[in-house]
Amino acid sequence: MYVAVKGGEAAIDNAHRLLAEVRRGDPAVPDLTVAQIREQMALLVDRVMAEGSLNDPDLAALALKQARGDVVEAVFLVRAFRTTLPRFGASVPLETGRMTLSRRISATFKDLPGGQVLGPTFDYTHRLVDFGLAEGEQLEPAAEAEPREDAAATPRVTDLLGRDGLIEPSPQDDGTPLGDITREPVDFPCDRSTRLQALARGDEGFILALGYSTQRGYGRTHPFVGEVRVGTVAVEFVPEELGFPVLLGTMQVTECQMVNQFKGSREVPPQFTRGYGLVFGQSERKAMAMALVDRALRASELGEPLASPAQDQEFVLAHCDSLQATGFVEHLKLPHYVDFQAELELVRRMRAEAEDKREAAE
Amino acid sequence: MAVTDQGSQTQARRAVMALCAAATGQELATALAGLAAPGAEDIRAPEIGLVMATGRIGGDGRPFNLGEVSVTRAAVRLADGRTGFAYHLGRDRARARRAAILDALWQGEADRPGVEEALAPVARRAAADAAAQARRTAATRVDFLTLARGED
Amino acid sequence: MLRAGFRDPVHESQGVFRAVLDALARPGTIHAIPARLDPPAPLTPELAAIALALTDGDTPVWLDPALAAGHDVAAYLRFHTGAPTTADPARAAFALVREAERCPPLADFAAGTPAYPDTSTTLVLALDRIEAGPGLRLTGPGIRGAAELALAPLPPGWPAALRENHAGFPLGVDILLAAPGRLAGLPRSTAVEG
């Protein structure tokens, strides 16, 4: 139970003024601009957009500045901002197959039609701290090469396997309306679309840990990375007054197709199953972990025993949101004086009763 | 035939609107400045809102909600009654309004070539950016070799 | 031809919202409603302002036959608010009634459910006249003692229908009354005699 407490107004105002000053840090150091954060802390901005569930790099960068770099606080600001805006509608589904790629790799096929491109990746770096960066080192310009002719035709790995019937097809669009976890509370069990929405905005650390747990045996799915691709996709929307799709612009996304252990039955020949991850910005870690957890959450659909946390819809979905989690954990610091007073009284009484009993026994 | 004309006209209009969506606010201001654009009335004041971006399970299956994108829209009417619309990612009201005016101007046959001409530099800049990006990506193309494991 | 909406959507919507809030919080009092719109006939500027301020893609709107005739009003509201229209009053979040003298029975609209009484319809009625004075006698939350309100035209079955609506509390519809430049509220919590 919460009981309102009064007072502290001046202290709160002063705490906020102090926060503003501390956020700014040493005034002798130049103030960060939003553009600097957007350009140079791009992966952090991407994370805030993914978990804030709002693609708007400038807004996410500003939120990070205001939040002193705290991701969850920045997510809170972004989520609060979005509640002030009207929704015009839903986009045409993104055509990730027509993505302008900046990176595309496969761990299953080395000779992929369209080829593999590494793009800007940390992979293969030596993870040695570059002290030159601290000195504001000059950059060597990126190398260039003529794109190969097939670079624009990049079928998904799952399409290649699908042609031979070696992998299950994607669930068909049967036209049933989409649930939306930002509008209606989630009922369990929920469908895969709803789960993917929750995972796409879920806390990266939590999803990563769950994905990892499936690799360590808690709901094993024998995954292979069919493909990870990063790039920009067109976002199209059909305004009612126009009746045809207009291009809103392009945005960066990361997609992961996980190819998982095969199964078969009397009706279905053995084939690979799939897990899917799609996330705003560039985050292979999040997209891959999401694909692992998506596949694990399909356990009951695929007739697998439900034994591990990553397979438990309610456990995963009810706990994957960083904002909900922080809200409930951090609310514990709000005044619980009356609650605690009651508990204190109870403990005192129980102790007194126990004391009385012991004395009576002696 | 009329239907086909209608269709190709819509395609052409979509292409111009897409070009405006790829343009910066400054590029649109420059394009408009060269067109002696008439005054425009807001039918619906430029407004910031959200569009739920949807993806597809597996890339090609049933849709799901990926997350929202911020969008600015504008709707204007020129003095002669032509209306124009714009929907853009981001929160730049002035930019969306300029694009809506360009869309309205494009509705008139007489203004069409002028609008397309004024936006040609944007098309060239966007194509050059895309080509440069593609060349930089192409330089990171990799051919992995599988080393024999000794079975054969 | 599409007509313009609010020139300053944020502040004009806020102004209307405030007037609606005050009208429902203090039943029987009459509030000025800023309505500088020029909507397609027969939609009144007041109904238009309330619709533009309160409805969106999540609020199905029911239009009375006078407003639903022709498509201008529906197209105008749809363009500015994104709200879908519904032919079923029981599914409406908002009902816009231009001809109050032909207003359907209140029981035709959504009364909400015991778990979610807020899922009821809010009726917005265009009237010719709203005056303080002998007519309906109102008592209940937000009213010190009693208030009196004279309305014209009075919808069929009122005030008995209002008494019935109140009797179902916490279920029931809430009603906004909008005459030129004036707004009053009759929430379900108000007891009506007259």
What residue ranges define each of the domains in chain C, with the CATH number in brackets? 9-193 (3.40.50.11310)
pLDDT tens-digit series, residues A44-98? 999 999 999 999 999 999 999 999 999 999 999 999 999 999 999 999 999 999 9
Q: Answer with the residue of higher pLDDT: A153 or A292.
A: A292
Residues of the domain holding B50:
6-124
Mean pLDDT of A108-135: 91
* pLDDT score of A137 more than 80: no
Inform me whether the C-beta atom of residue A118 falls under 8 Å from chain B C-beta atoms.
yes
Q: Considering chain A, what percentage of its residues have pLDDT values greater than 70?
A: 98
Weakest mean pLDDT among A29-33, A350-354, B140-144, C161-165:
B140-144
pLDDT tens-digit series, residues A294-341? 999 999 998 889 999 999 999 999 999 999 999 999 999 988 888 999
A136 confidence band (pLDDT: 50, 70, 90): confident
* pLDDT score of A153 more than 80: no
Across the interface, whether the CB atoms of B49 and A174 are under 8 A apart is answered no
Chain centre to alpha carbon of residue A101: 21
Residues of chain B positioned with their CB less than 8 A from the CB of A257: 58-59
pLDDT tens-digit series, residues C117-132? 999 999 999 999 999 9
Please give the C-alpha separations between residue A53 and each of A196, A313, A315, in angstroms, as whole numbers.
12, 20, 21
Across the interface, whether the CB atoms of B59 and A97 are under 8 A apart is answered yes
pLDDT tens-digit series, residues A89-109? 999 999 999 999 999 999 998
Inform me whether the C-beta atom of residue A163 falls under 8 Å from chain B C-beta atoms.
no
Q: Given this model, what pLDDT does residue A5 score?
A: 67
Report if residue B142 sits inside a domain: no
Q: Given this model, what pLDDT does residue B2 score?
A: 43
* pLDDT score of A1 more than 60: no
Q: What's the alpha-carbon Rg for chain C, to the nearest Å?
A: 16
- Interface predicted TM-score of the whole assembly (ipTM), two decimals: 0.93
Q: B113: burial class by Cβ within 10 Å (0-12, 13-18, 19+)?
A: exposed
Q: Given this model, what pLDDT does residue C20 score?
A: 98
Q: Are A48 and A65 in contact (CB under 8 A)?
A: no
pLDDT tens-digit series, residues B27-80? 999 999 989 777 899 999 999 999 999 999 999 999 999 999 999 999 999 999
Across the interface, whether the CB atoms of B83 and C2 are under 8 A apart is answered yes
Report if residue B68 sits inside a domain: yes
Secondary structure class of B28 (helix, strand, coil): helix
- Work out how many domains chain B is built from and give that number: 1
Question: Token pair for residue C73?
Answer: 């009003």
Q: Are C81 and C55 in contact (CB under 8 A)?
A: yes
Q: Which residues, listed in sequence order, are joined to residue B142 by a DSSP beta bridge?
A: A116
Inform me whether the C-beta atom of residue A240 falls under 8 Å from chain C C-beta atoms.
yes
Report if residue B129 sits inside a domain: no
Q: How far, in Å, CA of A274 to CA of A296, rounded?
A: 10
Q: What are the structural domain ranges in chain A?
A: 9-82, 96-119+151-169+181-321
Report if residue B81 sits inside a domain: yes
pTM, 2 dp: 0.89
Report if residue B149 sits inside a domain: no
Neighbours of chain C (3+ CB pairs under 8 A): A, B
> Chain B interface, mutation test: which of A45, A54, A77, A88, most B Cβ atoms within 10 Å?
A88
Secondary structure class of B16 (helix, strand, coil): helix
Across the interface, whether the CB atoms of B85 and A151 are under 8 A apart is answered no
* pLDDT score of B4 more than 70: no
Please report the sign of the dihedral spanned by the C-alpha atoms of residue C77, residue C78, residue C84, residue C88: positive
> Chain B interface, mutation test: which of A38, A55, A103, A123, most B Cβ atoms within 10 Å?
A55
Average pLDDT over chain C reads 95
Question: Token pair for residue B8?
Answer: 């190709």
Q: Are C194 and C150 in contact (CB under 8 A)?
A: no
Q: CB neighbours (10 Å) of residue A104?
A: 26
pLDDT tens-digit series, residues A216-248? 999 988 999 999 999 999 999 999 899 999 999
Nearest CA to CA, how far is B125 from chain A (Å)?
16
Average pLDDT over chain A reads 93
Q: Given this model, what pLDDT does residue A65 score?
A: 98
Residues of chain A positioned with their CB less than 8 A from the CB of B141: 115-118, 145, 148, 151
Nearest CA to CA, how far is B16 from chain A (Å)?
10
